[in-house]
Amino acid sequence: MIKAQDLIEKVLSYNPKSDTDMIAHAYAFGEAAHNGQFRKSGEPYFTHPVAVAMLLTEVRLDDATIVTALLHDTVEDTEATYQQLVNTFSPEIAQLVDGVTKLTNLELSSVETKQAENFRKLLMAMSKDLRVLLVKLADRLHNMRTLRSMPKEKQRQKAFETIEIYAPLAGRMGMQFIREELEDLCFRVLNPEARNSIMRRFINLSKENDDLIPRITEDIRIALDGAGVQARVSGREKRPYSIWRKMEEKNEPFSRLSDIYAFRIITDDVQDAYIALGAVHQRWSAVPGRFKDYISQPKSNGYRSIHTTVSGRNAKRVEIQIRTAEMHQVAESGVAAHWSYRGGQRAENPFAVDPFRWLRSLAERFEASENPDDFLEHVKLEMFQDQVFCFTPKGEVVKLPRGASPIDFAYAIHTRIGDSCVGAKVNGQRVPLWTKLRNGQSVEVIRAEGQRPQASWEDMVVTGRAKSAIRRYLRDEHRDAHIRLGREIARVSLGRVGKKPTDKALDTAAKLFNLSNGQSLLAEIGAAHISGGEFVKTLYPELVKTGIAQGAGSDEERVIGLSPNQSASPAPCCAPVPGERIVGIAMPGRGVLIHAIDCPILEQFEGNDRRWVDLRWTPDSSRAGNETKIEVAMANDAGVLGRICTLIGEHGSNIVNIGFTNRKPDFYRIRLDIMVRDIEHLTNVETALNADSDVAEVVRFRDTSLCELAQNGGRKIPAE
């Protein structure tokens, strides 16, 4: 285990004015608090906090952060308390430890909605003091380094959570060395075969080119000396995960990749960086399309560097990055550069960006987001995407993710411009709105006051800002129609258990669904995000449990042919209605399932005559409502869904539930559970829908998998 003095000496190497007594006290406090605790590997538990603290010294962090690292698990895993840390150290350190504890308790790899809510909490905790995140990232890095002692399933869970959240978050915060190592450690767990394959190819490549990196490094030094540039030059092979990702993105084999080797030139100032670029391009041929100048156009996380790919020794393509020492510090440590010390003083780095700027922009951009999953999706897009730089007609720079379209460009300027976009010109030429923009292009947005966002736009954009604005507009536009439809579904669904959709009932149910009010609940029901069955089950679970919602006890009275005391219920696969020929299949211990005579599932019972029950409908069976399912393919245009629902209502049928089974830019396929009297009534409804010009197809929906589950001993599936 790293000794206290070793840690202190590392801190003193960059901060001679460090409060070494406080660090020594924290070391002793943490060691005593964790005494008797051990990690899964068998090591004393305190080896972990010390390793986290040592990691943070690599980015020259302040005393408070180092002490927080030593104490970050004490409140959660020992008898130490928050107030004890306040009294023993300071309120600042106690708050930092508390922040790390809260981050640790967030289950970011849980189900999606919970994951989204917890990620929102993570961003809120980060916004108070980013040093909390720095400690957490170092904590996760050390845990990933020592993951092998944990069960395989736990390893995969942690690796998935890390590569989904923490690695891209480290990259977005500019901490590249942490991001790259986290990705590679996750790669080792999640796809060991692919990683081992790449490692074998690296070994073979090293045998073929044993001294290639030293020779190219020396070639670069000679070229720089000739140009009179003093610089540090280093070379390396890229990490396996980085290589694998490029193979996936470019769909190329290992042998054809052009940037397996990467070299860095660290100069004293910006002028020397550009002189070094000229020397490199004079010495070797530049590869077209592989030049990026992030010094003149920095990334939003503060990253500055010149990237170029050249055909080096033996025609090997190599990537070269050129930057100054201060730029290199920001490139490696990102937001940590704000707390970095040198010579006992906080090091002022002119290239370090405001670490809270991105968090503030997220808060402003997504404060109107009602859907936690949308919020998480947008944040992931913000973290994952590389950037391209485009220009407005006035020469202003707009930063966008790779793959962005002119619609993304329009929304990046202003929501109003995005909403009214009807076309775009790229470098003076009219292009389709789905065109992918490239670096350096000039983009002019063509607008029309009457234009409004289209549903198909969502498939054309990649930025969270554009997706959020489009969804918000479409949601608001259809909200009134969704509320009307939702109210009808709620009325019918509650009517089946003898209840009414009063304002109080709706508001009560809304709280159970974590929605603001009853109107929001109706909108969700009308938009098919919540089914009528879910609504009733949540509000009146006991009524559903006792079978009232399915009309238990009434089906036996509507069919003829059952034995005394024999129960019956419609088969969920075909949902037969009066007027259709029917047959019963006796299910041991479960009564009789009523099937339409043409139900495909009946083929499974051929040759088993004892299970068949000859049934027919009673003369008055069509007096009550009978639930069945239809599937409708309709045009994806405004008002079509509302018109379909109106047609169904005009023909005396109620919609019990509605769900979207397929959403495309040009059409929707929806599934409707409707109440009809009999087969004639159902045929009339289908005919009316087929007559609508925006309806492509109406079919009776039958799902044999529902019955197959029941026959295999599964739970009884309600007909709704």
Q: How far apart are CA 450 and CA 42, in angstroms?
A: 69
CA distance 647 to 650: 5
pLDDT classification of 303: cutoffs 50, 70, 90:
confident
* Nearest Cα to Cα of residue 575 among 498, 675, 491, 647: 675
Evaluate whether 625 touches 675 at the Cβ level (below 8 Å): yes
Say whether both 67 and 176 belong to one domain.
yes
Rounded to whole angstroms, the Cα distance separating 359 from 591 reads 59
Query: Among residues 451, 471, 491, which one ends one of the domains?
Result: 471
Predicted local distance difference test score (pLDDT) of residue 344 = 54
**Strand runs labelled E in 151-238:** 231-237
Mean pLDDT of 284-295: 86
pLDDT digits (tens, 9 = 90+) for 623-675: 667 888 999 998 877 778 888 888 888 888 888 888 887 777 678 888 888 88
The domain that holds 228 is classified in CATH as 3.30.460.10
What's the chain's average pLDDT? Answer: 80
Which one from 77, 181, 458, 507 is the annotated catalytic residue?
77
- What mean pLDDT is predicted for residues 21-25? 94
The whole-number pLDDT of residue 249 equals 64
Q: Note whether 182 and 296 are same-domain residues.
A: no
pLDDT at 268 over 70: yes
Does the CA dihedral 355-358-362-363 come out positive or negative?
Answer: positive
For 503, the domain range is: 472-548
Quick one: 273 and 313 in the same domain?
yes
* 18: pLDDT strictly greater than 50: yes
What's the whole-number mean pLDDT along residues 288-306? Answer: 82
Whether residue 341 is predicted with pLDDT greater than 70 in this model: the reply is no
List pLDDT tens digits, range 234-262: 988 878 888 887 776 666 666 555 567 78
d(CA 75, CA 94): 9
Comparison of pLDDT for 687 and 609, the residue scoring more = 687
The residue from 417, 438, 471 where one domain ends is: 471
For residue 682, pLDDT over 50 is answered with yes
Residue 346 has pLDDT above 80, yes or no: no
Residue 96 CA to residue 119 CA, distance in Å, equals: 18
pTM, to two decimals? 0.54
**Residue 49: predicted pLDDT:** 95
557 counts as catalytic? no
pLDDT of residue 547: 44
* Residue 484 confidence class, pLDDT cut points 50, 70, 90: confident
Place 111 in a pLDDT band, splitting at 50, 70 and 90. Answer: very low
Please say if the pLDDT value at position 116 is more than 90.
no
CA 529 to chain centroid, in Å, comes to 19
Long-range contacts at 357-362 (CB < 8 A, ≥ 24 apart): 358/172, 358/300, 358/301, 358/382, 359/123, 359/126, 359/127, 360/127, 362/123
Q: Answer yes or no: do 430 and 368 share one domain.
A: yes
- Residue 72 is predicted with a pLDDT of 92
The answer to the question of residue 697 being in a domain is no
Highest averaged pLDDT of the listed ranges 151-165, 268-282, 335-349, 426-440: 268-282
Q: What CATH number should be reported for the domain holding residue 365? A: 3.10.20.30
**461 & 528 share domain:** no
Instruction: State the pLDDT confidence band at 328, using cuts at 50, 70 and 90.
Output: confident
Q: Is residue 491 part of a domain?
A: yes
Tokens encoding 37: 């605790």
Task: List the catalytic residue out of 43, 76, 631, 692.
Answer: 76
Of 267-276, 313-322, 335-344, the range with the highest mean pLDDT is 267-276
Number of domains in the chain: 4
Of residues 83 and 329, more confidently modeled: 83
**What's the rounded Cα separation, in Å, for the pair 66 and 63?**
5
> What does the block give as tokens for 498?
């003898």
Residue 21 has pLDDT above 90, yes or no: yes
Structural domain includes residue 651 = no
Question: Do 31 and 7 form a contact (C-beta atoms < 8 A)?
Answer: no
Residues 306 and 273: their CA atoms lie apart, in Å, by 8
Which band of pLDDT confidence, cut at 50, 70 and 90, is reported for residue 552? very low
- pLDDT grade, residue 272 (50/70/90)? very high
Q: Is the pLDDT of residue 33 over 90?
A: yes
Residue 714 has a pLDDT of 36
From 249, 261, 244, select the one nearest 187 (Cα to Cα).
244
The CATH number that applies at residue 13 is 1.10.3210.10
Position 342 pLDDT exceeds 70: no
Question: Which of the listed residues 284, 313, 346 is the one where a domain comes to its end?
Answer: 346
**Residue carrying structure tokens 């009999």:** 678
In a domain, 44, yes or no: yes
> Which residues neighbour 538 within 8 Å (Cβ) at sequence distance 6 or greater?
509, 512, 513
pLDDT at 534: 83
pLDDT at 450: 78
